Chains A and B, each alone.
Chain A
Amino acid sequence: MKKLINDPDDVVAESLVGLAAAHPELRVDHANRVVYRATPKPHGTVALLSGGGSGHEPLHGGYVGFGMLDAAVAGEIFTSPTPDQIVAATTEIDTGAGVLQLVKNYTGDVMNFDMATELVGGIAVETVVISDDVAVEDSTFTAGRRGTGVTVLVEKIVGAAAEQGRDLAELAVLARRVSGAGRSMGVALTSGTIPASGKPNFELPASDMEVGVGIHGEPGRRRMPLAGAREIATLLVEPILADQDFGGAPAIVMLNGMGATPLIELYLMFGEVSRVLERAGISVARSLVGNYVTSLDMAGCSLTVLRADNDMLGLWDAPVSTPALRWGL
C-alpha cells in the first residue's frame, strides 16, 4: 500500500483537518466529524443533512455550502457515521423549519440515521433514502438497490430548492422524485485499498473488470474480460435504459470517476456514453464529468442518468458554491 497518510487510523480525522484548512467557508466540528457551512442559512429555511462512510470524497463534505448541503457527517472509511454524530449535526443546522436527511441505501447508513431520528427530539426530520444502482437486479433477496451517483444530483437539486424557501414536505417529495428518476451503473478496473486493512478490498485479475460494481467495491452483475471503452459504454447505458423510460425527457448525465481513473479517460468515456445515449434518442441537457462519488483509489467509472423536468433543470442551473460544485455565482 502506497498512500499519502500518517497512521492509517487517523486518515478520516486528518483529512477533515485539511478540508477545514483549505476551505475557510466551511466549519468542521472535529469531535463529531461534521462539516458545516461557516455561515448558516437564514432562519426558517429547511436544512439539508447528508453523510455516510468516508472514502467517497468529495461526497459528502465537498458538497456543503450555498445551494447544497448544510452539514455532512463523516463516518470511518466505508462505515456509516453513528447516531450521536447525526444527532449533533441535526440539532446544529435546524433553523426551525426542519431537517431533510439524504441517506444512501446501505444497511448501516439506514440503521444509524433511523436511530438518530428516534433520538433527536423536537425537530421535524424527514428522511429520503436514495437507491439508484441498477446493477442490483434482485432487490427482494438483497438489501435493495444501493445509493450511488444520483446522490450528488439529489443534493444539488434539492439544495437549490431549499435555498428558495420550499418547505420540508415539498423538499422530501422533490428528493424522492429525483432519486426515483435517476439510475446509475458502475464498472471497476481495479480495487481500492482501505488504509486500515492495507490490502486491495477485492481481487480482480489484471485481465478482468467488474461490471455493476458498487462504491465500496461490492460486486455487481458480472465479472468479464476487460473491454474497450466503446463496449463498456454500452454495458453501462443498456441496463439503465432497460430500467427507466427516458422517452423525450431532458437528461442530466454524470460520468463519474471512481478515484484512480484520470480525466482523460473519463472524457473519453463520456464521449462514448453520449454517443450511445444519442443513438437511443436521449437528449443530454446537462452533463458533469469528473470525480464526484469516489471509492478510494478504485479505477473505473460510473454513469448516472437522470430523467429531468423543467423544475429539476432550473434547480440544477441555480447558483451553487461548495468545494466540489461551484457555478452561477
Chain B
Amino acid sequence: MTNAAAVSYEQLLNWLRLIDESLIEQRTYLTELDSEIGDGDHGTNLARGAAAASSKVDIDQPQFVDELFRLVGMTLISSVGGASGPLYGTFFLRFSLSAGHVTELTGEKLASALEAGVAGVVDRGKAELGDKTMFDAMEPAVRAFRDNLGQGVALAARRAFDAAAQGRDATAELVARKGRASYLGDRSVGHIDPGAASTCLMFEALAEALA
C-alpha cells in the first residue's frame, strides 16, 4: 500500500463537513420523505445533530481519527434523539474504535472502519436487508467500497455512493418492517425510506471528499 492510497485526516474531516452541509441543505427533503411514512422530523433532527457535531469539532479540534469520530458519534447520540441518533451515533463510535489512534487510514482500514460502523448499526437496530431502513443503503455501499478498493479509494467511494443510491431507490418498493413506517404496512410501498436517503447523502459526501 502506497501513501497515495491513504486517506488523510483532512479528507476525513472534510467528509464530515460535507455531510454536515448536505444534511442542513437537505433538511426539508428528508423531512418531507419522513412525513410521508414516518413522523416528519428526520431532516430537522439530523440537521440539528450535524450542526452540533460541527461546532463540537471546531471547539475541541481533535487531532486523531479515532478522537474525531468518537466526538461526532457522542454528539449525535446526545443531540439527535429518536432512532437515528443512536443509530448514526453508534455507526461513528464503532468507526472510531476500528480506525484507531492514527492520522490517516489506508483504503483497507477505511473499509474495515465502515464495516464496523455498519455492524454497530445492526447491533443497535436489529435491521435486516429488505426491512426498508438505512441499512438497505448502508450495507451495499460499504460492500461496494470494499469490492472496488483495488481501483483506488476515490473510485471505491464513487461506487459506494452509486450502491447507496440504488439501495435507497430500491427501498421504495419495500414494505417497512422496522421503525415508525412499519405501522403503514403495504401503504409504505412507493415511498423511499428517509433513513436510506440520509445514508445516501453520507456516501455522496464520502465520494466528494475522496474524489
Contacts and interface: CB of A to CB of B under 8 A. Distances in A.
A and B: bona fide binding partners: yes
Interface of A: 53, 75-85, 106-108, 111-112, 115, 135-136, 138, 141-143, 146, 194, 196-197, 199, 201-202, 214, 216-220
A192 to B, nearest CB: 10
B33 to A, nearest CB: 12
Contact of B81 (A82, A142, A216): A82
A66 B81 CA distance: 29
B180 A107 contact: yes
A324 B110 CA distance: 53
A197 B183 CA distance: 21
B179 A217 contact: no
Given A82-B78, A142-B185, A216 B180 contact: yes
A217 B175 CA distance: 19
Interface in B134-161: none
- Grouping DSSP codes into helix (H, G, I), strand (E, B) and loop, the A interface class, with mixed when no group exceeds half, is loop
Nearest to A217: B39
Interface string B117-139: 00000001100000000000000
Given A76-B81, A111-B87, A112-B86, 15 more contacts: A75-B82, A78-B41, A82-B85, A83-B78, A83-B86, A84-B78, A108-B81, A108-B84, A115-B86, A135-B183, A138-B185, A142-B182, A199-B35, A216-B39, A218-B39
Contacts of B178: 107, 143
A258 to B, nearest CB: 15
A224 B86 CA distance: 36
A233 B166 CA distance: 46
Interface size class of B (residues with CB under 8 A): 20 to 34
Contact of A202 (B35, B41, B81, B177): B35
Contacts of A214: 180, 183
B183 A220 contact: yes
A81 to B, nearest CB: 6
A196 B177 CA distance: 27
26 contacts: A53-B82, A75-B81, A75-B82, A76-B44, A76-B81, A79-B41, A80-B83, A84-B77, A106-B180, A111-B124, A112-B86, A115-B77, A141-B182, A141-B185, A142-B185, A143-B178, A143-B180, A146-B183, A194-B39, A194-B40, A196-B44, A197-B40, A199-B35, A201-B39, A216-B39, A219-B187
B79 interface: yes
A108 B83 contact: yes
Contact of A218 (B48, B85, B87, B183): B183
A197 B45 contact: no
B211 interface: no
A273 to B, nearest CB: 23
Nearest to A142: B182
Contacts of A77: 41
B80 interface: yes
Contacts of A85: 78
B130 to A, nearest CB: 11
B31 interface: yes
Nearest to A144: B182
Contacts of B86: 83, 108, 111-112, 115
Given A82-B77, A218-B180, A108 B35 contact: no
A194 B41 contact: yes
A73 to B, nearest CB: 10
Contacts of A146: 183
Given A76-B45, A142-B185, A201-B35, A81 B81 contact: yes
